[in-house]
Chains A and B, each alone.
Chain A
Amino acid sequence: MKTLETLELTSAQLDALTEIGNIGAGHAATVLAQLLGERITITVPKVSIVPIARAHEIVGEIEAVVVGIYLRVYGDAPGSILYLFPRQSAMELVDIMVGRKVGTTSLLREYEQSALKEIGNILTGAFLYALANFTGLAMLPSVPAYAMDMAGAILGTVLLEMGTVSDYALAIETDFLTKHQESRGHFFLLPDPGTLDVLLNAIGVGPGCSK
């Protein structure tokens, strides 16, 4: 099995992974917009292979307080999905979702946590649906898990599983913004070791595809 350590992606493969991110995140953003009744903008996905020792720095400030919603993906292409929202943005999302005036929520109690987990559920469902249609692979999400803590501690914990095999992680990352420009979130798709080849093969650019 190829580990990410020795991995070199061709530009066609990088494009394909970016497209996977685009299709999935685009679909998820549409659903989020419908859920919140607001326009959602997403950035072009960034595909990066990062050393695990430095991976938590891709979230910016390691000690920034963020809300993390984490789901496992089961099926043909196992992996992890992680949403990181700056704490302020998470509270604004809750306000918009439950119909409060933006700025009302100041505590993330069980009710608010549940609303954020539901956002993670809905986004992931939309993302995986689009990805499954595009690749023909079967994928199912776990129930979402919630944490509020330092960005580095949350991302680091999620990355641990990949760390057993490789010193590198592959992240497909998108930012999305509401019309309140300050409400933003990061989305990470972290394929398990081995899943990358499955994804690339499914769209015809993998090592198992002869030209």
Chain B
Amino acid sequence: MFEVIRVGMGEYAIGRAPGQFLSLGLGSCVCVTFYDPALKLGGMVHIMLPDSGAARGAEINPTKFADTAIPFMISEMEKSGASRERLVVKMVGGAQMFSTLEKGHETIGARNVAAVEEALRQAGLTVTAKSVGGTSGKSVCFDLETGEIRIRTIQVESMPL
């Protein structure tokens, strides 16, 4: 059965083709996708924050933070049969939505992107495609049949100079 699954903030999904995973309205969040083409097995995680150390609660949701989400997703993908060598990793998001508030220090979006890249490096994985940073919100559609990622942004007006 063809399924379309929405992955909300701090959530994840893993599954096989046919189907699609969607992350709608990413701002400073980062969406990371994992794909094993041999099995047509994909995973998507919608990461909110860079570092789980910031959480003071005893129990944390691992898919909310970059440093815990990446190892969690790799291990879940491997449990479903994926091979780490075949994994194709892509990432989208980490934008700066409001310009005036975050002047002078690194934005939460940029910190999210850096934390994801660091966690992937530690796991020995490299990103094959990404669309990160900028000032626009993005929606991501991940097709499990092809492994293809499509991105939508708003386009409402052309600005005269």
Contacts and interface: CB of A to CB of B under 8 A. Distances in A.
B10 A152 contact: no
A101 interface: no
B24 A63 contact: yes
Interface stretch (A28-36, A159-167, A198-206): A159-167
Given A63-B152, A149-B137, A163-B48, A157 B54 contact: no
Contacts of B138: 153
Nearest to B59: A5
B27 A153 contact: yes
A150 B136 CA distance: 9
Contact of A154 (B57, B137, B160): B137
A165 B57 contact: yes
Contacts of A164: 49, 54-56
Contacts of B38: none
Nearest to B138: A153
Interface in B139-160: 139, 152, 154, 156-157, 159-160
Interface stretch (A11-19, A38-46, A50-58): A50-58
B25 A153 contact: yes
Interface stretch (A92-100, A121-129, A138-146, A176-184): A138-146
Interface of B: 8-11, 24-29, 48-49, 54-57, 61, 64, 95, 97-101, 108-109, 135-139, 152, 154, 156-157, 159-160
